A and B are shown apart, each in its own frame.
Chain A
Amino acid sequence: MDEEYDAIVLGTGLTECILSGLLSVDGKKVLHMDRNDYYGGESASLNLTQLYRKFRPDATAPTDIGRDRDYALDQIPKFIFASGGMTDLLVHTDVTRYLEFKQISGSYVYRDGKVNKVPSTEMEALRSPLMGLFEKRRARNFFVYVQNWREDDPATHQGLDLKKVPMKDVYAKFGLEPGTQDFIGHAMALYLHDEYKEQPAKETVLRIVQYSQSMARYGKSPYIYPMYGLGELPQAFSRLSAVYGGTYMLDKHVDEVLTDPATGKFIGVRSGEETVKAKLVIGDPSYFGAGEMKEGQKVRVMEEGMVVRAICILKHPIPGTEDVDSLQIIIPQNQVNRQNDIYIALLSHHQGVCAQGVYVAIVSTVVETSVPEKELAPGLALLGPIFDKFVQVSPLYTPTTTGVEDQIFITRSYDATSHLETVVADVRDVWQRVTGEPLKLEKKVVEVQE
């Protein structure tokens, strides 16, 4: 470990592995370390043994729900937009060659005690019980407007400057009912709460377009998912990094991040007696004091809320969903008197994440009270009998500074959104902070040698 590197990356979560891969491809000499003996950190998919080690260290994993190796249980429930920033990254880095993707079979929204398909085509919208006849007509006008809207073409704006006009005014112009606003804002634009209505409408419109384009790409839902769990993604990007010369060390404890006492700038990291130097460090919050601050340690991350997630093992599909093998259900906050939506993500053995006959539902939401698990109740109630349940409350950390001054660049925790677009945003943000330039995805980087 006595060599000097361009960059040390701490933690092999998805965000860190993408950045490590991109830096290695860019010709940087990267050392990538993780305290765990497996890849993925918080974004790892766990087998039963690993799940029990984490949630019930004193119990042994059950043997009556299939083989240990059949399981790859995500801790962070997220899907990939079929047409979005993550698919761009996957295609441009060519890590798709290491992965296999499946469609998520359905996208649902909760309304008035029932679960309904989110309409995304004209046919589905016309059949959907979510809207009455006249409302369908108004919604149609709204979607036509959104589809035709071009920022640089005022003729498509119909007198609304979406960069200034709040979304609530756009809804008002088309006369959309609150219930319709709920499924558009929460099930299509995927906002977690209602603050977006006060914000300029452009962002919402772009999100609806992204949803529709993703929906149109493969049909059944806007999402795709990697076979064998989300934890395959960090592994694939770590291979990209390694193929381009990145050095990997798992099971390596990081004892100290060393800085120059005079300037405060990053020098290197210490692991036991060994010290390794680099120009900069990138890492997840857990390597910079998140959770447990040591005395005298500089405050580098702060908590900005908490997410509660329940991994539920089921032996049946979710009632009322046409028994699909995978889905998302969104419970908009208004529907259950909350400030934040509740999400349900369902997967099964079709995605290679559990044994045959088993379904895995993860119910999650942003914590609003002192009894987080109770907040999940409306979601849990939709699942039918729950065979087993593993609940975790995770604080969300964000860095206190950009890191440019001390060359210590910290990524963000995985948030409550149901997709990976915020991870891509974080990757782009950190890349910009590290290199001073926006991330450009211009060419495919990995060649197969024939």
Chain B
Amino acid sequence: MSKQFQFKLVLLGESAVGKSSLVLRFVKDQFDDYRESTIGAAFLTQTVQLEDGTTVKFEIWDTAGQERYKSLAPMYYRSAACAICVYDITQSASLEKAKSWIRELQRQADPSIVIALCGNKSDLAARRQVSQEEAQKFAEEEGLMWCETSAKTGEGVNEIFDRIAHKLPEVAPLQAQRGTAAAKPAGARSVDLNKGPAGPGTPESCNC
């Protein structure tokens, strides 16, 4: 049977660099110039099929606006296997912000996390403030993947998710099933609250 992986992917970056748009392009192949952030979506999922039959399912977490006033909860990075830090190539300040998110990830997230730096809005190259050389150099120094994308035209979007999907099984070979990057302590089994009573007895049979 071919391998199946599932990874949590978190998006980071300044407001209005196009984080949600990137996901929408990747997951639904849609774009909307004036869209508000997705209301009511805990996260979105999309599966990438690799050449050898391996499937990589992304559980994609958007910031839900909590990045806006520096209010992203540490829970957000918890167990993330990969992160895409997005900047806007027409706003040089947004690259600085992406860099600070990367430092935050290096501090807070699992050390094995795969990070991609992504310059969005490549369709607006005429208004470019961030050169490809500058961003690429930073990415190389920090050992990050780098790309430019346009959520509007779709350019580069599938490619970056593809590259992450190829890299993840290499760096996280043991997270076969429901993959999470953080090593879970052994011991007590987790419980699933969405399932009914599964204990040794029903309420009627215990308690004597």
**Which A residues fall within an 8 A CB radius of B?**
37-39, 69, 82-83, 87, 90-91, 94, 96-98, 100-103, 105, 120-122, 125, 140, 143-144, 146-147, 208-209, 212-213, 215-219, 224, 227-228, 232, 235-236, 238-240, 242-245, 247-252, 325-326, 349-352, 356, 445-450
Do A122 and B208 form a contact, CB below 8 Å, given A103-B188, A251-B70, A449-B27? yes
- Among A37, A82, A239, A349, contact of B64 (Cβ-Cβ < 8 Å): A239
Query: What are 5 pairs between A and B in contact, CB < 8 Å?
Result: A101-B191, A125-B208, A147-B207, A224-B191, A242-B65
In whole angstroms, what is the CA distance A102 to B199 when docked?
Answer: 14
Tell whether, in the assembled complex, residue B206 and residue A216 are in contact, meaning their CB atoms are under 8 Å apart: yes
- Among B27, B39, B184, B201, contact of A243 (Cβ-Cβ < 8 Å): B39
Q: How far is the CB of A2 from chain B (nearest CB, A)?
A: 14
Question: For residue B204, which residue of chain A has the nearest CB?
Answer: A147
Tell whether, in the assembled complex, residue A350 and residue B187 are in contact, meaning their CB atoms are under 8 Å apart: yes
Question: For residue B202, which residue of chain A has the nearest CB?
Answer: A216
B167 in contact (CB, < 8 A):
no
Chain A residues, CB < 8 A from B70: 37, 250-251
In whole angstroms, what is the CA distance A101 to B190 when docked?
Answer: 5
Question: For residue A188, which residue of chain B has the nearest CB?
Answer: B207
Q: Which of B13-66 contact A (CB under 8 A)?
A: 27, 38-45, 63-66
Do A449 and B44 form a contact, CB below 8 Å, given A98-B75, A218-B191, A247-B68? yes
Q: How far is the CB of A10 from chain B (nearest CB, A)?
A: 14
Given A37-B70, A215-B207, A448-B42: 11 more A-B contacts, CB < 8 Å: A39-B73, A97-B43, A100-B190, A120-B207, A122-B207, A143-B208, A216-B199, A243-B64, A245-B39, A447-B42, A448-B44
Tell whether, in the assembled complex, residue B206 and residue A217 are in contact, meaning their CB atoms are under 8 Å apart: no
Question: For residue B69, which residue of chain A has the nearest CB?
Answer: A249
Question: For residue B79, which residue of chain A has the nearest CB?
Answer: A100
Tell whether, in the assembled complex, residue A217 and residue B42 are in contact, meaning their CB atoms are under 8 Å apart: no
In whole angstroms, what is the CA distance A122 to B207 when docked?
Answer: 6
Chain B residues, CB < 8 A from A224: 191, 193
Tell whether, in the assembled complex, residue B65 and residue A121 are in contact, meaning their CB atoms are under 8 Å apart: no
Question: For residue B76, which residue of chain A has the nearest CB?
Answer: A239
Tell whether, in the assembled complex, residue B41 and residue A243 are in contact, meaning their CB atoms are under 8 Å apart: yes
Do A103 and B189 form a contact, CB below 8 Å, given A140-B208, A217-B198, A449-B27? yes
Question: For residue A242, which residue of chain B has the nearest CB?
Answer: B64
Chain B residues, CB < 8 A from A240: 42
Chain A residues, CB < 8 A from B197: 83, 216-217
In whole angstroms, what is the CA distance A447 to B43 when docked?
Answer: 9
Tell whether, in the assembled complex, residue A121 and residue B208 are in contact, meaning their CB atoms are under 8 Å apart: yes
Do A243 and B42 form a contact, CB below 8 Å, given A224-B191, A350-B187? yes
Tell whether, in the assembled complex, residue A121 and residue B206 are in contact, meaning their CB atoms are under 8 Å apart: yes
Do A449 and B41 form a contact, CB below 8 Å, given A217-B198, A239-B64, A251-B70? yes
In whole angstroms, what is the CA distance A83 to B196 when docked?
Answer: 10
Question: For residue A94, which residue of chain B has the nearest CB?
Answer: B42
B97 in contact (CB, < 8 A):
no
Q: How far is the CB of A18 from chain B (nearest CB, A)?
A: 15
Q: How far is the CB of B132 from chain A (nearest CB, A)?
A: 33
B203 in contact (CB, < 8 A):
yes
In whole angstroms, what is the CA distance A391 to B202 when docked?
Answer: 40
In whole angstroms, what is the CA distance A228 to B199 when docked?
Answer: 24
In whole angstroms, what is the CA distance A319 to B43 when docked?
Answer: 44
Sorted nearest first, the 5 A-B pairs with minimum C-beta distance are: A122-B208, A242-B64, A248-B71, A235-B73, A350-B187
Tell whether, in the assembled complex, residue B73 and residue A239 are in contact, meaning their CB atoms are under 8 Å apart: yes
B173 in contact (CB, < 8 A):
no
Q: Which of B45, B64, B194, B202 has the most CB of A within 10 A?
A: B64
Tell whether, in the assembled complex, residue B39 and residue A215 are in contact, meaning their CB atoms are under 8 Å apart: no
Do A235 and B208 form a contact, CB below 8 Å, given A121-B201, A248-B66? no
In whole angstroms, what is the CA distance A289 to B27 when docked?
Answer: 48
Residue interface bits B68-86, CB-to-A below 8 A is 1, else 0: 1111011110100000000
Chain B residues, CB < 8 A from A217: 197-199
Q: How far is the CB of B119 from chain A (nearest CB, A)?
A: 26
Tell whether, in the assembled complex, residue B207 and residue A146 are in contact, meaning their CB atoms are under 8 Å apart: yes
Q: Which of B194, B199, B202, B205 has the most CB of A within 10 A?
A: B199
In whole angstroms, what is the CA distance A244 to B65 when docked?
Answer: 10
Do A212 and B206 form a contact, CB below 8 Å, given A235-B74, A242-B66? yes
Question: For residue B75, which residue of chain A has the nearest CB?
Answer: A235
Chain B residues, CB < 8 A from A252: 69
Question: For residue A104, which residue of chain B has the nearest CB?
Answer: B188
Tell whether, in the assembled complex, residue B185 and residue A352 are in contact, meaning their CB atoms are under 8 Å apart: yes
